[in-house]
Structure 1
């Protein structure tokens, strides 16, 4: 119930203001949120699993984290998350023809330090994105372990190597 109330409060606060208050509220609902992390309006956490976010991370508007009990979300430091991103730990095993969504299950999601996640990307349970990677806007990241410094793009997302230097957008 407390997570529900906090989600409602965060939704009505100014989008790019009151970062300290939003962080304080997320800490009260059990999320671990590092110093300097900025949470934008509409960002919400559903479910009873733990959420850890490193320091100096940007949480875009309307981030939606669904973390059922039995799963967890770990987001590194210096991560930038665009608006309308979905991080979904829950899923189902494949059922029979009478009901394809079979037994519920939940898998962890990990996002490495320095990663940039573009708007409207979706990460599914079991995804482990390496440090310094880019998840392109609209990408669908399926369960799997992705190495450091890759560009994940497409539906489903495929990994392409990135350089380690700063420069133009991919």
Structure 2
């Protein structure tokens, strides 16, 4: 009885971990069925039609009970998946966080990648991070339309990357081909703290984004940009020899 009570108390104290352990396999199956195409070699064509175009309320067909039940179950898993994408970033072990990112969320994370505390995620399977790159504390990555980060990229704290947004001129406030598209960051780029990178942006090799900038257009290789919106202020030395290192078990 005492053993049972002890286990029950532990489960209550660590209820988040308990729920995750119960749902990790169903979540993996759920995410595997909903993996993003991750075809981000080119930008979204502005004249194309988005997949799964939203219906207006008037055009939505009525659903049967079983379809409603299926939708309800899907929403539960999707909601918990998004919550986990926020909560897991604060788990005090980089090793475990990366394991969840790779094997539950299906993020493409290569060797030597450092992801610091507090990462928040959307569209996890659309995110690819190559060897030796590093993300600082409390970054936001929206991979719904693809984020591809190259090798040895230094991303400072509280950087936001949004591959999708709303169209303020759309009558139903929907996303459309004008407001979505992949974010591509080439090797050796340096993204300063508190910067925001919006959809359909390609940041070239070795480019530098200064702190607090908002990047709305492509940045040429080895170019330094700053401001809102970000504009070129100078060029960077092309002789880059450093390699990023900083992985740790806990932090």
**Equivalent residue number for residue 174 of structure 2:** 103
In structure 2, C-alpha distance between the alignment counterparts of 1:93 and 1:6, rounded to whole Å: 25
1:3 CA drift (Å):
4.8
**Equivalent residue number for residue 22 of structure 1:** 97
> Which residues in structure 2 correspond to 1:33-72 (within 5 Å)?
33-47=109-123, 50-68=126-144, 71-72=145-146
TM-score scaled by length of structure 2: 0.58
Q: Does the CA-based 8 Å contact 2:85-2:122 persist in structure 1?
A: no
Q: Does the CA-based 8 Å contact 2:85-2:121 persist in structure 1?
A: no
In structure 2, C-alpha distance between the alignment counterparts of 1:111 and 1:58, rounded to whole Å: 13
Higher share of residues assigned strand: 1
Gaps of 5+ in 2: 1-79, 241-251
1:49 CA drift (Å):
5.4
Higher relative contact order structure (alpha carbons within 8 Å, sequence separation ≥ 6): 2
1:64 CA drift (Å):
0.3
Select 1:113's aligned residue among 177, 180, 187: 187
Cα deviation digits, residues 55-91 of structure 1 (max 9, x gap): 11111110101232xx100011101111110001112
TM-score scaled by length of structure 1: 0.83
> Which residues in structure 2 correspond to 1:1-170 (within 5 Å)?
1-13=80-92, 18-28=93-103, 29-47=105-123, 50-68=126-144, 71-95=145-169, 102-105=173-176, 106-142=180-216, 144-159=217-232, 160-165=234-239
**Equivalent residue number for residue 28 of structure 2:** none
In structure 1, C-alpha distance between the alignment counterparts of 2:151 and 2:119, rounded to whole Å: 18
1:7 CA drift (Å):
3.1
Bigger Cα Rg: 2
Higher share of residues assigned helix: 2
Gaps of 5+ in 1: none
1:93 CA drift (Å):
3.0
Number of residue pairs matched by the alignment: 157
1:9 CA drift (Å):
2.3
